[in-house]
Structure 1
Amino acid sequence: MSTLPAPRPEEEEAATIARLEDEVRKLRKINAALIDRVERSTDLSHSAFSMFERAITLEQLVRDRTRALEDALGQLASANAKLAQARAEAEAAETRLRDAIESINEGFALFDAEDRLVLYNEAYLGFWPDLVDVAQQRPTFHEIITMLAEQRCPAGALSSPDRWVSDRLARHAVAEGGHVQALSDGRWIQINELRTSEGGIVGIYTDITEAKAEDARARARDLAEQNLALQALLDNLVEGVCMFDADRRLTAWNGALQRLLGLSGDASGALSQHADLVRFCRESLAMDGAEVLDWRTEGEAPVRNRLCQVGERIWDVRTTVTALGGMVVGFLDVTEPATARQILQDTAETLERRVAERTTELMALNQRLASEVAERRAIEAQLLEAKTAAELANRSKTSFIAAASHDLLQPLNAARLFIAALTERRLALPTRALVNQASTSLNSVEDLLETIFEISRLDAGAITPVLGNVNLAALLATLQTEFAPMARSAGLAFVVEPVAAWVRSDARLLRRILQNLVSNAIRYTARGEVRITVDQPAPGQVRVSVADTGPGIPHDQQERIFEEFRRLDTSNRIPGKGLGLAIVRRATAMLQHPLALNSEAGAGACFAVTLPEGECQADAVPAHAKPARDRTIQGRRILVIDNEAQIQLGMETLLSGWGCQVTAAGSGAAALDRLGPVDQGALPDVIIADFHLDHAETGDQAVHDIRTALGRDLPAIIISADRSEELKTRLAGQKLPLLGKPVKPAQLRALLQTMMN
């Protein structure tokens, strides 16, 4: 790196030192003059004392001047030391700056506020070798580029030096970024100029010749690849294509052109000029309509095409003017499409004649069809009316069965109460046998009515599934406890394989499905076993299978057994109504649980229900066992409210047989009249009320009126044949237990013992 002479910061300190030295010289001269004056004074007119005083005064003045001289010398020495330190630091900084600038590969140049070159490195001179002799003279930027333009160093100065100089000065004045310059020796440099805080300009010069060359090579490769791709595209075209430049010379063609024109060699030899192509098509090929090949001028339409006859072939010839003044000619053999088009045209004309003939026939046929459509629409309207009537009848039947359940179960409920009252008494053996037979018959009637009512509710959509997470292990354990005695009495083994699984279903409907399947399996199996297994057929699914060793079900009967009151001929001797599987089919369809049957005649049967897997729930914390209490209901006062006299009598007979004091009434108001003025000790212990009373009164309303009149929250039980979820929800909100009709005496007695104890 080279530096130019410039003012240094030490000049101010040198001026200060010179001024201090000048003052010291003056002080020395004054001091010498004073001493000389004292020594040469011989004035005898003054007294000795005056001379002594003057000597003292002069001595004090000399001492002060001497002290001032010493201070000036001390300041001079301190300034010399600081100056030496500053000079050393400046030289070290200058050395580091020189080394840093020389270490970079790019050229570096610094111009001051007057735009003179003050700092540069050898790399900068490498771009401009002619500046070596003048760089030390601190030339201006304008002088530098003028000299470079005169010597034609930049490529831009070869043709117009003045323009290059003005453009370069304009870029230098802005100094806000970089630009690229080409040199006359083939090199490329990138110049980045920025303005300094003192108003100067610093420039970085980078040699990018290799990057430019690589960029040019990449562009050449891309161009070559594009040419290859274009030629490959032309060679794969079915159409023969050739291209002529603005001088009408052949520049490109494809193999399809040579095959179509029948050229044996290279097309450039036979068709080097556009005139050769026109002459070849007219003379050698005898092309009809060869004028389409005439050279196109700029004022004509850019595209022209025509069908030309070449012997027995038909060509579609297209000429297109290019943007550079050339022309592209395309030849396409359309003999087959043209022939097919002619055939299609002839066929179309034939079809048009046939269509006209058939149209006349179809018009007559259409009239006949219109009359038939009218008849069919009338029949469709009649069928729709019949279907609507059938649906209304079905809904009426379902609604009737659901609504009539109360009236149907009322006498059955009364009979159940009377039979239960009889079983509590001492009877002769023949009489007890008759009572047991009557109880069995009532059980059959009750099961039949329960099944019919359940089917009617399923058909009517009165049952809404409540999906939740069901503990399958607990449900199967309940089934094992419920059906184990029935299986033992039939001489069968009832096996429930242990399982730990949770499923997503309606707990009540799922229990009903499995109860019917297990009950059927035990009922129809003469010997062997009934087994419940659980497996996982697919991720997220749980399959519960009920298999037996019974007689099996033939394939032709496997669909019929799910119909109502449908039983196999071989099972008619077995008790049952043929409704259990009908309920299973409806319930699984409602819950969207797939039901499968696998059975062979004589090989047993396996019913499988596939359920979605549920989420495991924490088991409920068991309640602490309560101490045993007296569960007798003897002597308890019970108020019975029912609008049927037979039910009142049956309840009185049954409850009196248990030792209870019974008061019966037909409504809430009648019950209050029967109770009369009672004190707290004579209040009833429990109220048993039928839900449906006379005059639209309900059992819960009667209970509420009695509780309000007596001022006590008396325990109460509601009895009803209505098994809807709405009623259960309504009574659960009032904390009133619900018993279904016909009432089972054991269930009623257990509930009374629980409530009164």
Structure 2
Amino acid sequence: MIDSLIDPADPPERQTQKLLTIAQVLMRRVEQITDDSGAAYAQFQRAAMLEDQVRERTRDLERALDLLNDSNARLAEANRATEAARQNLANAIETIQEGFALFDAQDVLVMCNSRFGMHMSDVRPHLKPGLTFDDYVGRVSRSRFFELPPGETAQDWAVARRRRHQDRHVIFNVRMVWDRWVQVSEHRTADGGTVILQTDVTEIIRAERSERGKMLDDQARVIRATLDHIGQGVCIFDAEARLVGWNQRLGQLLTIPMARFRRGVSFDAILDRFRPDLAFGDGMTEGRLGDWVAGKGAGGRGALRFELRRDPDMIMDVFAQGMPDGGFVMSFTDVTAERAAIEALSRANETLEARVMARTLELEDALGNAERANASRSRFVAAASHDLLQPLSAAKLFISSVPDEGLAPDARAALDKAQNALLSVEGILGALLDISKLESGRAAVSVGPVRLDRLLSQLNDEFGAIAAAKGLRLTVLPARITVTSDPAYLRRILQNLIGNAIRYTDRGRVLVGVRRKGATARIEVRDTGPGIPEEEQDNIFKEFHRLNARASASEGMGLGLAIVERACALLGHPLGLVSEIGRGTCFMVQVPRSESAAASDGPRPSPPPRPSIQNRIVFLVENDADLRRAMGLLLEKWGVNVLDAASGEEALSLIDELGILPDGFIVDYNLGEGMDGLRFLSEMQARHGPVPARIVTADRRAELHAACAAAGIGVMMKPLEPRALEAFVAGLPAAG
């Protein structure tokens, strides 16, 4: 039909026009037909789309079910893993030797092992999850297996225990029945919970108690030996006025058999024994003495001195003094001879007016001697320390005098050990005397310019070998600075700090240096030791406190840092401390720089060559035969010619007889009765002019040292150092 509508003979443009007209007619017909059936087609189209949506939702539901099943499987696996971890944790804490418990942030028990609550079988059945910390503390405080501290009730202990629980870290010991001990260590966790460890430390405490008992026994033997060798009668009473110590001299003075002295005897019982034979001097009555013993006096148990007469033939000077523990000590000194001398002088003064002046002078001398004798006897501890230093000096010098030639290695090793032991004893005695002076406020200081380069160089020489023997590297940085301080106390401060650093450092190094800060210099002593916990940084400056003490008193008695703190306070030098656990500690002492600091920056002069000490003539004046013999042997070992005498009078007589003036004198200050060392040297200077000399003494009184300095005489302290003797002899002028 289309072929009939299009004439092939028509031109192309005509044919195209016809075809467009035909297409338009056909399109209008198609559109008309679509409009009549459009609603049905739309319904069909929506049905198809709904089916597609249902199919898509079904696939989504299937995927969701698959994910749910997978999640349930993983949850079940996680629950199994959690239960296994909980069981592993329970098994792990059960293998711990200590008791273990974990409380959550609300102080409710989460878990514990079977050892928690050890030694308290009445508490352990209640240690189950859900138990509160307060309930736990209450049950422990009421346990019949728990021994409360003296004077505390169960409620008091529980309150104190809950107060400790507020701290992040707590460590303390508790005592159980049958003398068993448990250490409790409590620490906070990151989420606010609490971990408690309980360790049975019974054996440790019993061992410490045994060691402490041995040390106390050793100290008691030393004290007993001291008391038995002094001329005073001494008795010691505890806070309840019961006898705890005495010496034999006491029984001789009071004429009481030693069998009557027993520990625990009351003061009243002893007073009853000698009441009929004794009479009190002026100003003292039995009632007043009883009030003092009972502590009822106005001053409590302050120092008390009175006179006691036994029959008409003996007069005793009694000195009583309270002790820090509430007890008291009494000393009895026979002053009959002194009193008789006083009375004889008084009678002579009354009958011989022509000799009034001479007798008065003699009386003053006698009184002065008596007062000095009484004062020295009343301080029997100081006298005891002198008695200990005297044989210690002799022992050190005897060991130093042993020749090295032909000595077996075992014998040399034994001598070295003996020398080290004596050095340890010397250090302990020196520390005890230093801490006593610093604590009592009797220490005298002499502040002046101190060159740190010289002081640090000496300390480097002193401690270098000690550090090397321990495998440590000691580094002392040069510091040409002059500071203002007491040279002796500053040296002791740095000695203790460096010695402590070496003692407590097992590996690494110890560094000593100085930092300039304006008008001050800060001396630092650093080590690579274990460090000091923050809670222990105040305690280490207490007497007899040693952090992680591992050995005997040969490693120190915990007095070094106490001396450092008190000496720094005495000198006004601020003391600082910085420490990090596992990395080391740094002690810092801040010292003012001297105005003459610039002068210290010059070159240090080289020391002169050491002269030979052979063929020198040295005169020893020493009343102790052992010490005199020890010094003589040591000097003779060095090639020195030695003259000796036991007293100043004997020495003067010997010098006059020989007609030879020695090159130098070494003179003990305490020469017994007669002239002392200073008087002897004064007499020598009056006869022969200035002579090189040294005073040897264990007396650390500032007055004595000032007197020696005023006389131009040096002092060597007991126990004597062989190097100090050698240095003095080496400095003597060569014989002409």
TM score, norm. by length of structure 1: 0.45
Rg bigger for which structure? 1
TM score, norm. by length of structure 2: 0.46
